[in-house]
Amino acid sequence: MTISVPATSANLGPGFDSLGLAVDLRNLVEFHPSKFFSVNIKGEGENNPKLKGNNLFVSIFNEHYNRLTKKRQSFKFTFYNQIPMSRGLGSSSAVIVSAISSAHEAAGIKVSKRRILNHALVYESHPDNITPAVMGGFNAATVEKGKVFSQKKHLPNYIKAVVVIPNKPISTSKARTLLPKSYSKENAVYNLSHTALSVAAFFNEDWEILKLASQDRFHQKARMKNLPELFSVQKTAYESGALMSTLSGSGSTFFSMVYDEDAVMIASKLSQKFPEFIVKILDFDNDGLIIEK
Ligand SMILES: Nc1ncnc2c1ncn2[C@@H]1O[C@H](COP(=O)(O)OP(=O)(O)OP(=O)(O)O)[C@@H](O)[C@H]1O
Ligand SMILES: N[C@@H](CCO)C(=O)O
């Protein structure tokens, strides 16, 4: 049994805690019952001893498996991780979604993607990463009475993501403390109207308006000041022809959307200018959570 979940880029500029999309970079887990519990990690996190003992996946898996079966059973888990941790690419959402889904599969209980999403909300209170992690594609989402309500748009393959991944991790909980406690009516209306325009642009596939629509006054500037090179990353991406360029989640990654034919040129300009950062061209992911038996 293998379960995989894609990386995600949340906020997309103005859509703080509400917009997100999935990219084709996956964490995959294989597991089976075993006499002894064991964790084997390949890829991201393989050299992090903390993940062998105190692993977010294992604690959420056990919580759900015990709830569903009322049994205790040891498992052997092997993780193949591609999503860098604490870089704004939804590593925690991928782990949460994967653990909940794996526990249901291990217990032999069928569950809808919508239910997994609602369970995931217990561990991540904002829906902008967990929704595309489960559903794939671009998603606008909100939470009402403990449930996620969302709408998905399939992303075409003639647009690509170019991500610039700095060598500095940023924890989401710390990055949230940098934000103002309140916003003026003017800035609230600014973000509201830009978010609305962004959603319409995604659904109408009007990519050219995203540069304007994706501007934000809620969170990017305050967070980017922590890593000022990100202002130059955004400038270079736009000068090279990116359609939009925004802080990914709470950072540190910078996400740009580009036309397929421009992707290599834009990525190589970014790599030349920021050799200390990792630059990747990624397809968008429209599948979200995948379970393979
Ligand atoms: N592969 C993994 N295995 C176990 N735990 C992980 C894994 N990836 C992430 N985590 C947990 O999630 C934490 C990172 O979550 P955080 O929300 O800070 O970053 P992120 O999800 O990558 O960023 P963002 O939410 O901005 O996209 C790690 O410190 C670790 O506890
Ligand atoms: N909307 C979240 C995404 C990161 O998990 C934030 O900006 O804090």
Q: To test ligand 1's pocket by mutation, which of 5, 11, 59, 91 has the most ligand atoms within 8 angstroms of CB?
A: 91
Distance (angstroms) between ligand 1 centre and the Cα of 135 equals 19
Mean confidence (pLDDT) of the chain: 96
* Distance separating alpha carbons of residues 66 and 291, to the nearest angstrom: 21
Rounded mean pLDDT of 96-104? Answer: 98
Q: Are 46 and 185 contained in the same domain? A: no
95 CB near ligand 1 (under 6 Å): yes
Q: Are 121 and 194 contained in the same domain? A: no
127 CB near ligand 1 (under 6 Å): no
Contact, 101 vs 116, CB < 8 A? yes
Contact, 42 vs 80, CB < 8 A? yes
Alpha carbon nearest to ligand 2 atom 3, residue: 249
Q: Sheet harboring 244-247: ordered strands across? A: 244-247, 254-259, 159-165, 278-282
91 CB near ligand 1 (under 6 Å): yes
Q: Residues 209-226: pLDDT tens digits?
A: 999 999 999 999 999 998
Secondary structure (H, E, C), the chain? CEEEEEEEEECCCCCCCCEEEEEEEEEEEEEEECCCCEEEEEECCCCCCHHHHCCHHHHHHHHHHHHHHCCCCCEEEEEEECCCCCCCCCHHHHHHHHHHHHHHHHCCCCCCHHHHHHHHCCCCCCHHHHHHHHHCCEEEEEEECCEEEEEEECCCCCEEEEEEECCCCCCHHHHHHCCCCCCCHHHHHHHHHHHHHHHHHHHHCCHHHHHHHCCCCCCHHHHHCCCCHHHHHHHHHHHCCCCEEEECCCCCCEEEEEEHHHHHHHHHHHHHHCCCCEEEEECECCCCCEEEC
Alpha carbon nearest to ligand 2 atom 4, residue: 249
Interface predicted TM-score (ipTM) over 0.95: yes
Distance (angstroms) between ligand 1 centre and the Cα of 97 equals 12
Take residue 198 and report the two structure tokens written for it: 């962004």
Give the structural domain span for 107: 2-154+286-292
Q: Are 91 and 147 contained in the same domain? A: yes
Write down the pTM of the prediction. 0.97
Helix axes 263-273, 229-239, angle to 10 degrees: 150
Res 155: pLDDT: 98
Res 1: pLDDT: 84
240 CB near ligand 1 (under 6 Å): no
87 CB near ligand 1 (under 6 Å): yes
Q: Are 84 and 113 contained in the same domain? A: yes
Distance (angstroms) between ligand 2 centre and the Cα of 72 equals 34
105 CB near ligand 2 (under 6 Å): no
Give whole-number Cα distances, 268 to 22, 80, 286, in Å: 23, 27, 26
pLDDT category, 83, cuts 50, 70, 90?
very high
Rounded mean pLDDT of 69-83? Answer: 95
Q: Are 150 and 19 contained in the same domain? A: yes
Count of the separate structural domains present in the chain: 2
* Distance separating alpha carbons of residues 76 and 67, to the nearest angstrom: 19
Contact, 60 vs 101, CB < 8 A? no
pLDDT category, 110, cuts 50, 70, 90?
very high
Q: Are 180 and 251 contained in the same domain? A: yes
Distance (angstroms) between ligand 2 centre and the Cα of 88 equals 8
Q: Are 231 and 111 contained in the same domain? A: no
In the predicted structure, residue 113 carries a pLDDT above the cut 90: yes
Res 89: pLDDT: 98
Q: Are 128 and 254 contained in the same domain? A: no
- The answer to whether the annotation marks 93 as part of a ligand binding site is yes
Q: Are 138 and 166 contained in the same domain? A: no
Q: Are 254 and 173 contained in the same domain? A: yes
* Distance separating alpha carbons of residues 122 and 125, to the nearest angstrom: 6
User: Residue 210 maps to which CATH number?
Assistant: 3.30.70.890
Q: Are 60 and 185 contained in the same domain? A: no
User: Residue 32 maps to which CATH number?
Assistant: 3.30.230.10
Distance (angstroms) between ligand 2 centre and the Cα of 32 equals 33
- The answer to whether the annotation marks 88 as part of a ligand binding site is yes
Q: Are 61 and 184 contained in the same domain? A: no
172 CB near ligand 2 (under 6 Å): yes
